[in-house]
Structure formats: structure tokens, C-alpha cells
Structure 1
Amino acid sequence: MLDVRRMQVLRAVVTSGSVTAAAANLGYTPSAVSQQVTALEKQVGMALLERVGRGVQPTAAGRLLTEHAAIIGKNVAEAETALADLRDGRTGRLSIRYFATAGATLVAPAVAQLRRAHPGVQVDLRLIDPDDPLPEVKKGRADLAVVVHPRDRPRDDVRLVHLLDDPYRAVLPKGHRLAAKRVLELTDLADEPWVGNEWPEGPCLQIVLDACASAGFSPDFVVDSEDYATAQGFVAAGLGIGLMPGIVLGSRHPAVVVRKVRNPEPIRGIFAAVRETSLPQPALRGLLDALRDAAAAP
């Protein structure tokens, strides 16, 4: 394999016209330059320079290598510039995975803020629902995922950045016997028919089930819906009550009321998951800051 550094020394000799001039330009001794050219000639098995008067000129092989050295030098300079742009967050690509209810509230404003700060960074957004988006980060297929994640789960090589705690609220049909109370005990809902609104395999359902178990009962799901808007419609129709994350209740059905619950209050923690090795990227750090800003917004 040709030595790229020696090719650049040869190019310096050819463009300077002599070994002495090239040595002065490179900051080497003439002997060191001659040794580099001689070593390159041994590699290629051909003479690369010939004397002309007090200077030198390239042979056909020397001209060929000099031309390629110029191309290599240009490519290296372009690579260095591209790396500097990537290192400083001016370019690059971020792959983001998220679950549906985080999209409008967290991801959309965060990506808008990122694009203002890093307009040259491409963003690949993908909804992962009902699957857990965390494995996408662990396997290197995504740079960041917005996830629902209990605080005590092992983190492996992935850092979890807390964004917000999203408390669950009771959703009742208007006129329900419990609607007059401002705050409900979770046990108040024990004997009610329930409208399911979570994916069976997802972490959110388990949060609800664990809270109910702590209160001494298991909810009686009479209707299953894997969509919050549809579930609110079932509640409004009087088919049951629901327990839904507060983040999804900004838009609520006009025929339902929302009440706090306690003892216990189910809460889902929402986190940004990133690989530890990706954190030095300025654009990724900017996205994390933007997600925190979105989470802190009213």
C-alpha cells in the first residue's frame, strides 16, 4: 500500500522544483525529504524524479503519483471540514423515535427548536407505537428515543434523561356520582366498570395495574380501546370510567370530567434515552435541551 504521507512529500518536491525548496516549505531537512522520496520509489519500484539542471522534475510515474496526491489532499481537506462541521453541530443527522402521546407535546416543539439552532442537521423522526422505542437506541438504530420508563430499571449503556412526570387522571362521564369530588381516592374507582385505553404489552398499562394493586383491587375492564380519544368517547357514552395520563387530556371530550386521584397517584415517568457514546454531539445535546424546554412549558 502506498504511503500517503510520502506521496505528499513527493508532491511538495515537484511543485517546489527542488528537494531543497520542498524541505524549506515543509520544515524538514533536505536529507529527510530525499529519504521519503527514495522510500516511495522503493515502494513503487520506479524512479519518480530526475535531475534537470539544479532542480528536479517528475518522471511519468512521479507525475501520476503527484496528481493522485493532489486528489488525496483535496479529499482529506474536505473530510476535515466535514468532521469539523459535524463536531460543531453544523451538519449531521439525528434519528429520533417516540411514542404517540409525546409527539405533539414534546417532540414537535423540540424539533422546531433544534432546527432553529442547528439548521444544517437532518432529522429522521419515526413513531414507534405500541412497541418500546428504547431498543432502537440500544441497537444503534436511533440517536434518541422518548420513552416511558420506570426509574428503577437497569440502564445498560443508555442514559435516561428525565423530562417530566405525567400523573394519571380519572376520566368520568358528566353526571357521574363521583364527578362532584375534586380529588378521588383510587379505591373510589374499584367497583366501577373500566374503559381500557392502553396497549396490553406497553409499560403504561402496567403502571395503572400496579397502582390499582397497591390500592387493593384489579380494575374491571369492560371495554378495550387502544386510543385515548376513542376511550374518552366510550367514557362519555357512560360505558365506564378511565384512567389516562394527564398529557393526553389537553384535548378532552366535552361530555367527560377529569379528576385527580391519590393513594396512590399513578405517574408515568417520561425520559429521553440516548447512548452514552452519542452525548458529545452538539446537535444531540441541543435536542435534549429542547426536549427539557418543551417538558417545562405550561
Structure 2
Amino acid sequence: MLKPEHLRTLCEVIQLGSFAAAANRLGYTSSAVSQQIATLERQLGVKLFDRSAHSVVPTSAARVLARHAETVLTDMARMVATVQAVHRNSGRQFHLGVFPSFVDVLTGVLRRMEPRERAGIRVTVAESSQLISRLGAGGEIDAAIVYQVGNAGLSWPSALGQRWIAEDRYKVVLPRDWASELAPYRAEQLVDLPWIMHHPGSSDASVFDGVFSRWSLHPRVAGYADDFKVTMAMVEAGVGAALVPDLALRAYGPGVVVADVPWLNTSRTVFTLVRPNRETDRLLTLLDALAV
């Protein structure tokens, strides 16, 4: 079998024009270079150089072999570099960003992992737009779990890899004292209710505006809250009704009724964005667990 070091020696001899010059560049003796070329000739059964007292001249076969050898050696170097990068990344720390109402899902998965599996995982909690801004060139986050409603509100570099996780449906959340009077929760029954809204300009506020506009509802705003846990507490206190996605409904008190109304028909798509070359086995395993 041909050895890569012999092919490299052949290429250097042809480029530099002598065994001595190739030996000097490669850190061999001239005798060692001569022996490597002789080994190649013996293995291939062809003459690679015409030798004289003062020069060595490559044959046509040597030049053809050198062209192929350069390709092989380049591919081998790339292969080694890729394997080494995977090895480095497999044990490296990675930085995951998640939006706030996904935290309970993440912590549930982390609790089920062994301590050694959790080692090296850093987490940042922020809104989707903030996470995406930290995924760009020079950003410190390797992957981010974000959400989008329809095609509005977010944009990201095309180089980022995208993995779908779930559709997160919105529900109508009501104080329990109101629920019996409002069932079966038709849109027109909710027109005059006080509502808890997100602050104008936020991504969720634009979702709510679209829903209310579609059903010609003009909500009477009873309060603003961008944190769904705060929203749920306000609903339970009887301040107002709210639109809340499933992920933010993993736990709520007895003073709340969650109505899954068909006419609402609104959800947000939850997905992961991953920076190029950061898809290590550890990160992909965690993302698969989160999707489940």
C-alpha cells in the first residue's frame, strides 16, 4: 500500500528538482528520500525518475502520480482536520438560548440528564429576537430555541440551520368566576371583557392585535404584562382574560379556566436555529430530547 509520506516526498522532489532539496525541506537525509522513491517505483512497477550524476528528471508517470497525490494528500489533510474538530467540539461547552416560556421544558429535560451530560451546557433566556441577534457572526450562542407566528416578526441569516420542534397553540384563559357565564366562549361573548395584553411593539402584542382584528374585537385593556406567569397570576386574580400559548400553561392555579376555542385557531411555531459547524453530537442529542 502506498504511504502518504512517500507521495509527499515525490511531490517535493518534482517541485524542487532534486533529492537533496526535498530532503532539506522535509527534514530527511538524501538517502532516505532516495529510498522512498525507490519504494514507490517498486510498488508501482514503473520508473519515476531518470537519474544522472548531477540531476533527476521526473518521468511522465511521475508527473501524473504527483497530480493525483496532491489531491489525495489535500483530502487526507481535510479529513484529519474535520475529525479533530469534531473531537474538540464533542467535549466543548455549548451555549443554548431559549425563550422564556420554553424554560420549563428545558429544565425538565436537564433534570433527567446525568450530571456529566449536563456539564458544559450554558443557557441564556431571552426573547426570540434577542437570541437571534446573538447567533450571528461573532455571537456567543451556538443554538437558540425561538418561536414565530406565521411569517412575521423575525428574520435570521440563511446560514443558520433550522430544526422544527412544535406548534404551540394559543388558548383563551379566563378567571374561573367568569367561565360559566361565558361558555361556550364564542367570539362575540368575549367582546366586552377586560383583557391583559402584552406591551405594544412586542412580538406577542402583534399576534394579539391580529387575532382581535380578525374577529372585530376591540379589547378593553385591563393591564399589560410581557411575562406569561405574571399574566396567569393576573387572570387568577380576576383582572382580565388573556391569550396564552400551551407552553406557558404547564402549571396554573385553581382560579383559572383554560378554554380551547376552535375559532381562535392561532399558534406559534417553535424551532431551533443552529450556527454552522456547531452541530455536535451532544447538542443534537439535547435538541432531539427537547423536541420530544
Asked if Structure 1 and Structure 2 have the same fold, meaning a TM-score greater than 0.5 normalized by the shorter chain, the answer is yes
Contact in 1 for aligned 2:148/2:268 (Cα 8 Å): yes
What residue in structure 2 maps to residue 135 of structure 1? Answer: 133
For structure 1, list consecutive stretches of 5 or more residues without a partner in the other structure. 14-18, 33-77, 294-298
What residue in structure 2 maps to residue 238 of structure 1? Answer: 238
Q: Distance in 2 between matches of 1:206 and 1:230?
A: 19
Partner of 2:135, secondary structure, is helix
Q: Please state if 1:167 is matched with 2:193.
A: no
What residue in structure 2 maps to residue 123 of structure 1? Answer: 121
Partner of 1:175, secondary structure, is helix
Contact in 2 for aligned 1:194/1:240 (Cα 8 Å): yes
Q: Distance in 2 between matches of 1:121 and 1:257?
A: 39
RMSD: 3.6
Q: Please state if 1:215 is matched with 2:196.
A: no
Q: Please state if 1:9 is matched with 2:26.
A: yes
Q: Distance in 2 between matches of 1:218 and 1:239?
A: 17
1:1-298 to structure 2, matched below 5 A, reads: 9-10=26-27, 12-13=28-29, 19-21=30-32, 24=35, 27-28=36-37, 82-86=84-88, 90-105=90-105, 107-110=106-109, 119=117, 122-129=120-127, 132-141=130-139, 142-152=141-151, 156-157=157-158, 158-178=160-180, 181=183, 184-196=185-197, 198-275=198-275, 277-278=276-277, 281-293=280-292
Q: What is the percent sequence identity of the aligned residues?
A: 18
Deviation at 1:163, TM superposition (A): 1.0
Q: Distance in 2 between matches of 1:179 and 1:278?
A: 55
Contact in 2 for aligned 1:145/1:272 (Cα 8 Å): yes
Kindly tell me the number of residue pairs found equivalent between the two proteins: 229
Contact in 2 for aligned 1:166/1:246 (Cα 8 Å): yes
Q: Distance in 2 between matches of 1:126 and 1:265?
A: 31
- CA distances 1:4-34 after superposition (whole Å, capped 9, x unpaired): x977731x44xxxxx424654xx3459x9xx
Q: Distance in 2 between matches of 1:280 and 1:250?
A: 29
Change in 2 beyond 3 A, CA 1:21/1:279: closer
Deviation at 1:233, TM superposition (A): 2.5
Change in 2 beyond 3 A, CA 1:186/1:92: farther
Q: Distance in 2 between matches of 1:6 and 1:84?
A: 34
For structure 2, list consecutive stretches of 5 or more residues without a partner in the other structure. 1-11, 13-21, 40-47, 49-79
What residue in structure 2 maps to residue 60 of structure 1? Answer: none
Equivalent residue letter for 2:209: L
Deviation at 1:176, TM superposition (A): 0.9
Q: Find runs of 4+ consecutive structure 1 residues off by over 6 angstroms.
A: 5-8, 78-81
Partner of 1:257, secondary structure, is strand
Partner of 2:134, secondary structure, is helix
Partner of 2:130, secondary structure, is coil
Q: Distance in 2 between matches of 1:236 and 1:80?
A: 55
Q: TM-score scaled to structure 2, two decimals? A: 0.64
Contact in 1 for aligned 2:109/2:289 (Cα 8 Å): yes
Contact in 1 for aligned 2:171/2:261 (Cα 8 Å): yes
Contact in 1 for aligned 2:96/2:144 (Cα 8 Å): yes
Equivalent residue letter for 2:187: L
Q: Distance in 2 between matches of 1:97 and 1:257?
A: 31
Partner of 1:184, secondary structure, is coil
Contact in 2 for aligned 1:99/1:129 (Cα 8 Å): yes
Change in 2 beyond 3 A, CA 1:222/1:120: closer
Partner of 1:137, secondary structure, is coil
Q: TM-score scaled to structure 1, two decimals? A: 0.63
Change in 2 beyond 3 A, CA 1:229/1:109: closer
Contact in 2 for aligned 1:232/1:252 (Cα 8 Å): yes
Deviation at 1:254, TM superposition (A): 2.0
Deviation at 1:146, TM superposition (A): 1.0
Change in 2 beyond 3 A, CA 1:119/1:175: closer
